[in-house]
Structure 1
Amino acid sequence: MALRKSVVSLAVHEFVFICLLSSSKCDVCTACDQISCRGLISPSCYPECPPMGLETLKIDDFQLHASTTKRYGLGAHRGRLNIQAGLHEDDLYDGAWCAGRDDPLQWFEVDARRLTKFTGVITQGRSSLWSSDWVTSYKVMVSNDSHTWITLKNGSVDLIFHANREKEIPVRNIFPAPVVARYIRVNPRSWFARGSICMRVEILGCPMSDPNNYYHRRNEVITTDDLDFRHHSYKDMRHLMKVVNEMCPNITRIYNIGKSQSGLKLYAIEISDNPGEHELGEPEFRYTAGSHGNEVLGRELLLLLMQFMCLEYLSGNQRIRHLVEETRIHLLPSVNPDGYEKAFEVGSELSGWSLGRWSNDGIDIHHNFPDLNSILWEAEVKKWIPRKMFNHHVPIPEWYQSKNASVAVETRALIAWMEKMPFVLGGNLQGGELVVTFPYDKTRSQGVIREQTPTPDDHVFRWLAFSYASTHRLMTDANRRACHTDDFAKEDGTINGASWHTAAGSMNDFSYLHTNCFELSMYVGCDKFPHESELPEEWENNRESLLVFMEQVHRGIKGVVRDLQGRGIANAIISVEGIGHDIRTAADGDYWRLLNPGEYTVTVRAEGYSLTSKKCEVGYEMGATRCDFTISRTNMSRIKEIMQKFNKQPIRLPIRQLQARRSRQRQRLQNTIMLNKRKLKYKQKMIKFYYHLILAILATLTNDHYCNYVHTY
């Protein structure tokens, strides 16, 4: 059958054109690199292009246009895949593009700014708690000048793509063949009957090579690190960790902290010059990722970090060598492997905002820790501190440790790991934003959603957060677009967790209140699950931040608390004057206290030992100040020690004898009181008698009634 071609010249480049076929054998014919179309082209016959970057913000707001807009908060700039609405809808930050009218003439347009090979479209409905708006079908049109538009066709009929059936699950449509153009439009044809035309969109496209175009290399970041930039399944992750261990066996060790609900081991890798052992005076650091299984970027960053540190150590990088030799580093890339496998199965663009977020039993692991804030704050109100409770190492309530408590097995594994290792500083990598949050994460005022709730170490936490954000390529960039609603760049890329949104039982608060470890959350990218083509750029965005934050573990003071015989004292309390939060020494008596530069009065106390204080000064140079303590036993502890040495225990009477003694003491006291009362009564009677006797004697001297008086008395 002869093919009838209608060739439309597109103005920018003569060799680029689109063939419209009237034959039913070919849906769409494109002359990409002068390819001719003969028959139906299957989408599997050509490589799929990655997302252009609506979700990752590579596409700027000025590149997005729409036919009409309901209002500014629902403008074209809000039509990005997975964008989230604010806490209060109907504001400037709503969750989709919504057309001003509901008719088939509406469209959403993306200007690629250069020739692009378009291969598909992904759509979602509106992010909203109150509205149900989504598009059920649409057409796609392309252009090179934004005036002449070509509709993708199925033969001579416009091609209709089936879209969403609900508002959250992304739906991907791949074109029958690639289409080369600069502009692309999505034209809704039908929508949910009880809703409106609202869309969130991602375009799949490969930019065409054109060195003369200003936008040819715009927003592109190239890395020189030879690392494995791809998404790793659980099996792939385990294999990669093994490869790193085999490359650097002298500085790495693989271990697991427990299992997930489905039985997958939670693997961690240790990087140290003496793996497997805690060295006296060497601080311990941890990075965790993947507590929300669909927030994949943090997981891949830690896998890249372990590769990078191994390779750089072998190549003699002095910065990495110093970090490895002076720090015991633990990397736990996947806290929630069950959730990750769910998201990984459907792919980076189709997992949506929440698929795989929770554990297998539906628990948010990051906010599954016991609420120790309420326990501490109640104790402060009742003035129990420090008599009945300490301001640190707040105990876990009994109900939380019961088998019936709604606690994920992954959370219990994390707690056991945190209690076992003397961590000093930690960071958990999250996704979906660009900000670093620090404790407290829970507001102190009940019922308040947002409220500044600082810890006693607020100044230290602010510095730690800023150290990561300021070295990230984008977090503090005042010109960058906000991911969703909050523009954290105005706050230097950091925020107190409770002033963002309150969350009880967070990992950050628990770590601070139950252990010595200061924990922060790093939200490392707007896209929770970026396409693997984005991983090199995301690595460049975060690489320096990951290293700088690790180096902060050497900030403040450190030392060893010993007795007069030179033995380390475990669980000694380290207090800093003016800071209402203490820490404790590790099993060997060593400690690390994160502090900003300044002079501090530090006090050490331990059971059975005399209290000791000294001045410790923290400088601005990198490296913790050494501040050791030698403390002596109290007199009472010495007496007990001597008596135990000679098998003599302090006199301790049985309980019955003590009770009998107390009873006799009470009886003697009562008898004494009764006797004193009788003596007092007798004295009062005698005083009265002698008083009247004196009066009678005086009366005898004046008259003869004495005898009668005495007789009467």
Structure 2
Amino acid sequence: MWGGWGCVRVLRGGYGGWGPHSSSRVKEVGAKDPKSHVGRKPGFPGGASGLQNSSLLLNSWGPEGRERCWSCPPIGMESHRIEDNQIRASSMLRHGLGAQRGRLNIQAGATEDDYYDGAWCAEDDAQTQWIEVDTRRTTKFTGVITQGRDSSIHDDFVTSFFVGFSNDSQTWTMYTNGYEEMTFHGNVDKDTPVLSELPEPVVARFIRVYPLTWNGSLCMRLEVLGCPMSPVHSYYTQNEVVTTDNLDFRHHSYKDMRQLMKVVNEECPTITRTYSLGKSSRGLKIYAMEISDNPGDHELGEPEFRYTAGIHGNEVLGRELLLLLMQYLCREYRDGNPRVRSLVQDTRIHLVPSLNPDGYEVAAQMGSEFGNWAMGLWTEEGFDIYEDFPDLNSVLWGAEERKWVPYRVPNNNLPIPERYLSPDATVSTEVRAIIAWMEKNPFVLGANLNGGERLVSYPYDMVSEAQETPDHAIFRWLAISYASAHLTMTEPYRGGCQAQDYTSGMGIVNGAKWNPRSGTINDFSYLHTNCLELSIYLGCDKFPHESELPREWENNKEALLTFMEQVHRGIKGVVTDEQGIPIANATISVSGINHGVKTGTLSACGYGQADPCGSGEATPGRALIPRVPTGGSTLGTGRARSL
């Protein structure tokens, strides 16, 4: 969408769009006006020219217009919608501190001063340095957000700066207070983002920031606020993603989230049920929505699937995508969409938009762009939920070294160590609730939605010599099913959000090779339950602006549906004794895979495995399901067969 954008105007209950501004007039910059905020300073570095040669436009807003329609959204420095080749600088200290690293909230590499560092830094400390962004279109600029260098060693940040504008990157016009260049006050520390709004918006294509004073070395990160006034120039290939779904595209507070789930349940009472996993440490309920043709009932042969989000409270895109998914499934089912009807009728779907509601409340206080990288990540008690689960990897690998598997220690459904179950154990309130939920429901497949990168990560997350699970091929298949259906995740030219592209353009990566951690939700789910779980990282910006939600919905919608459908690939069935009575806790093994699954303890006593290439026969008790069939039913890449 483009053309004549004024300010963000979110329509409650429907599509969030952009409304026209009022009480405004557009003036050519060259016109004499004592209120004009665009001028020049002869000889100022960067080639500022006289106003008479400038084609820049200035919006002069009336008092009512200023109050009602103020700032534009981020143009996409943090989200990487602005590409590396759209950012230039006067110089760089080295490539790892080049202009492409001058993005808001970008993180330094694992090793300080490596190829990927945490800011743009100029070659020297002269007041002739600048960093520039090309929006590739006519844009109404309304502000700049600045931040210092991400570093555990250096304390570098810009404390004041000038701003200039251009339409050709050659002739520059400086922003003034009517008499001289306006000095904008920058940062007082290296982490906290600071917004500098332009008293009057400026229409141009390029924007430059000229640092004036700084602490330490001349380094900075930034985001630019701007509304597009024209389409992208034709010689650049950038697709504009527009959604046609009439959904509630806005950020939802805890109260708003609860209300939206209530509305969806009222709209589709026959296929939805809202329930709670438990409470957070501050007493907020962790809400879930079940979507199924018989909500509340586990049905024989119907696999259970889960999406969770908000493990880190400041990674909010997953929260909003799951709220959008609830609305979409409800409305499409009601409208007779055959794909959605089949999915809902054959699957028991669980959606949990906020596993860490306390953390979200902290992040939401600052809002999009203004919280730092970690604000709201942890629970109220200071736990990182993602890696607060029992470390069953060490238990299994230690038993394997002693040759205890599978005789003394099983290779699947490992019990939780007693020390972890103690009431005095140092475990978060939220994780205790999540584990109880996992054990109560026989999930087969799931994914947790995160932010800060754009990729799909699969187990193991903990480093071992192999770094691969026995179900490595299945996990890669599942990861590819999401990444390949996502609109941008497999575009190799985008690179990684923080450092190099660990996925080599495929959009998937083994967790241990990328970001090794112990006690993660994925490893625990795989070793303690029958559920194969992956982590989906939705984008570079942890807390995207509300205006980005329609675009991100379209980026992820097909992938969200495709991944859910993978739960129907593989094998499923019921293990019985010779009298036809179902056997609970029977172990099902697949030839060639040193990891089994167990039948449930529910009356159905069924089992499921999301294996796209498994096949074979089930026998009573401890059953062997050979990968190469010996008279059993053969399964290819279609839907699951019952055995």
**TM-score (structure 1 length as normaliser):** 0.80
**Which residue of the partner structure matches residue 467 of structure 1?**
481
**Which residue of the partner structure matches residue 336 of structure 1?**
356
- Residues 324-351 of structure 1: CA deviation (Å, up to 9, x unaligned): 0000000000000111111112111111
Q: Are the aligned partners of 1:282 and 1:326 in contact in 2 as well (CA < 8 Å)?
A: yes
User: Does 1:376 pair with 2:396?
Assistant: yes
Q: Are the aligned partners of 1:599 and 1:618 in contact in 2 as well (CA < 8 Å)?
A: yes
Cα distance in structure 1, aligned partners of 2:372 and 2:352: 24
User: Does 1:197 pair with 2:218?
Assistant: yes
- Residues 164-212 of structure 1: CA deviation (Å, up to 9, x unaligned): 12212211111111111111111111111xx21111110000111369x
- Residues 129-175 of structure 1: CA deviation (Å, up to 9, x unaligned): 22221111111111223233222222313211111122122111111
Q: Aligned ranges for residues 594-613 of structure 1 at < 5 Å? A: 594-600=610-616, 605=621
Q: Are the aligned partners of 1:121 and 1:174 in contact in 2 as well (CA < 8 Å)?
A: yes
**What SS does the corresponding residue of 2:414 show, helix, strand or coil?**
coil
Residue identity in the other structure for 1:198? C
**Which residue of the partner structure matches residue 506 of structure 1?**
520
Tell me how far 1:309 sits from its aligned partner.
0.6
User: Does 1:433 pair with 2:453?
Assistant: yes
Cα distance in structure 2, aligned partners of 1:416 and 1:271: 20
Compared CA separation, residues 377 and 489, structure 1 to 2 (3 A): closer
**Which residue of the partner structure matches residue 107 of structure 1?**
130
**Which residue of the partner structure matches residue 82 of structure 1?**
105
Identity %: 57
**What SS does the corresponding residue of 2:485 show, helix, strand or coil?**
coil
Compared CA separation, residues 497 and 604, structure 1 to 2 (3 A): farther
- Residues 604-624 of structure 1: CA deviation (Å, up to 9, x unaligned): 535xxx999884444224211
Q: Aligned ranges for residues 156-175 of structure 1 at < 5 Å? A: 156-175=179-198
Tell me how far 1:577 sits from its aligned partner.
1.8
Compared CA separation, residues 625 and 99, structure 1 to 2 (3 A): same
Q: Are the aligned partners of 1:32 and 1:178 in contact in 2 as well (CA < 8 Å)?
A: no
**Which residue of the partner structure matches residue 687 of structure 1?**
none
- Residues 31-54 of structure 1: CA deviation (Å, up to 9, x unaligned): 99775578x999645331000111
Cα distance in structure 1, aligned partners of 2:516 and 2:625: 39
**Which residue of the partner structure matches residue 28 of structure 2?**
17
**Which residue of the partner structure matches residue 61 of structure 1?**
84
**Which residue of the partner structure matches residue 517 of structure 1?**
531
Residue identity in the other structure for 2:642? R
Cα distance in structure 2, aligned partners of 1:37 and 1:473: 38
Cα distance in structure 2, aligned partners of 1:504 and 1:618: 37
Q: Are the aligned partners of 1:113 and 1:215 in contact in 2 as well (CA < 8 Å)?
A: no
Greater relative contact order: 1 or 2 (C-alpha under 8 angstroms, separation 6 or more)? 2
**What SS does the corresponding residue of 2:434 show, helix, strand or coil?**
helix
Q: Which runs of 5+ in 1 are unaligned?
A: 1-14, 446-451, 628-713
Residue identity in the other structure for 2:373? W
Residue identity in the other structure for 1:501? N
Q: Which runs of 5+ in 2 are unaligned?
A: 1-25, 40-50
Cα distance in structure 2, aligned partners of 1:619 and 1:205: 53
Which stretch shows the higher mean deviation, 564-573 or 120-129? 564-573
- Between the two proteins, the alignment pairs up a number of residues equal to 599
Aligned counterpart for 2:93 among listed residues 64, 67, 70: 70
**Which residue of the partner structure matches residue 668 of structure 1?**
none
Residue identity in the other structure for 2:77? L
Q: Are the aligned partners of 2:591 and 2:624 in contact in 1 as well (CA < 8 Å)?
A: no
**Which residue of the partner structure matches residue 288 of structure 1?**
308
**Which residue of the partner structure matches residue 565 of structure 1?**
579
Q: Aligned ranges for residues 246-645 of structure 1 at < 5 Å? A: 246-444=266-464, 453-490=467-504, 492-586=506-600, 587=602, 588-600=604-616, 605=621, 615=630, 616-627=632-643
Compared CA separation, residues 165 and 604, structure 1 to 2 (3 A): farther
Cα distance in structure 1, aligned partners of 2:625 and 2:503: 44
Compared CA separation, residues 320 and 612, structure 1 to 2 (3 A): closer
Q: Are the aligned partners of 1:575 and 1:603 in contact in 2 as well (CA < 8 Å)?
A: no
Tell me how far 1:373 sits from its aligned partner.
0.3
- Residues 361-389 of structure 1: CA deviation (Å, up to 9, x unaligned): 11100110010000011111111122212
- Residues 206-242 of structure 1: CA deviation (Å, up to 9, x unaligned): 111369x427994321011111111111111111111
Compared CA separation, residues 598 and 421, structure 1 to 2 (3 A): closer
Q: Are the aligned partners of 1:21 and 1:27 in contact in 2 as well (CA < 8 Å)?
A: no
Q: Are the aligned partners of 2:443 and 2:531 in contact in 1 as well (CA < 8 Å)?
A: yes
Cα distance in structure 2, aligned partners of 1:622 and 1:113: 45
Residue identity in the other structure for 2:513? S
**Which residue of the partner structure matches residue 660 of structure 1?**
none
**TM-score (structure 2 length as normaliser):** 0.89
**Which residue of the partner structure matches residue 116 of structure 2?**
93
Report the aligned-residue RMSD.
2.4
